[in-house]
Structure 1
Amino acid sequence: MLKIYHNNRCSKSREALALLTEKGLEFEVVYYLETPPDQATLQRLLQKLGYSARQLLRHKETEYSQSGLDNPALTEEQLIAAMIAMPKLIERPIVEWADKAIVARPPELLLELL
């Protein structure tokens, strides 16, 4: 089943959700700020995205630099742990479907996944 990791305060995430709804697709909404993904989920998403943990981080968030996450010596495990502790740092929206996932920024990228 199609799944969107959604932050309702994010305009791009709301646009992606609207696009999925407009297409009449069934999907699950994961409010990842309220229920952060665990380590296994993040590792699965990273694999499907073809991203490193650093690529999934929102570098412009204040917490990114304040937490020292800009340190290039940090490991994948440390960066994943930071995303679990501070889910606001996870890039959004992530849409997962079968063996694929995409960061839908801009939301029109969803059309490539579908």
Structure 2
Amino acid sequence: MTDITIFHNPRCGTSRNVLALVRHAGFEPRVVDYLSTPPGRDEIRALAVAAGVPLRALLREKEAAFAELGLGDAGLGDDALLDAIERHPVLLNRPIVVTPLGTALCRPSEAVLELLPVGPLPPFTKSDGEVVHDHGRRRG
């Protein structure tokens, strides 16, 4: 069995589509509803490192708290960003997926295909009716 984890917000369409794509591929991932069970500071930092992105890249800029807390200030360090995410988990962008092939913020939802250790998959229809075609490109 392949170990796949998705940091998921069930109210987010992109997150729901990613979860459905993972299941479409035949996997039942560990689903972390990060609003109910937020990852700790070390885990968030590790996700950013594993994804190869700065911590700031995992922030959800569209959330009201982003502007209210002045998180657009490029001078804020990782500790300040982690403090904000700790107080407001909704600031963590989603969905973040971890598989044996890597870790990524999967926006758009079809970005998860590069992380799935199978393929190519048959076409998948997202909740908005858009059809996703898997071209078989995988990390690794």
Fold shared, TM-score > 0.5 on shorter chain: yes
1:44-72 deviations in whole A, cap 9, x for unaligned? Answer: 10001111121111112111010111122
Bigger mean CA deviation after superposition, 70-79 or 28-37: 70-79
Identity of aligned residues (%): 39
**36, 43, 50: which one aligns with 2:45:** 43
Letter in 2 for 1:53: L
Instruction: Tell me if the contact between 2:101 and 2:115 (Cα under 8 Å) persists in the aligned partners.
Output: no
Q: Which residue of 2 aligns with 1:59?
A: 61
Q: Within 5 A, what are the aligned runs for 1:1-114?
A: 1-98=3-100, 100-114=102-116
Aligned residues: 114
Task: Give how far 1:99 is off.
Answer: 6.6
User: RMSD of the alignment, in Å?
Assistant: 1.2
Q: Spell out structure 1 runs of 4+ moving beyond 6 A.
A: none
Task: Give how far 1:82 is off.
Answer: 1.0
In the alignment, structure 1 segments of 5+ residues that lack a partner are none
Between the two structures, name the one with larger relative contact order (CA 8 Å, sep ≥ 6).
1
Q: CA separation in 2, counterparts of 1:12 and 1:25? A: 18
In the alignment, structure 2 segments of 5+ residues that lack a partner are 117-140
Greater helix proportion: 1
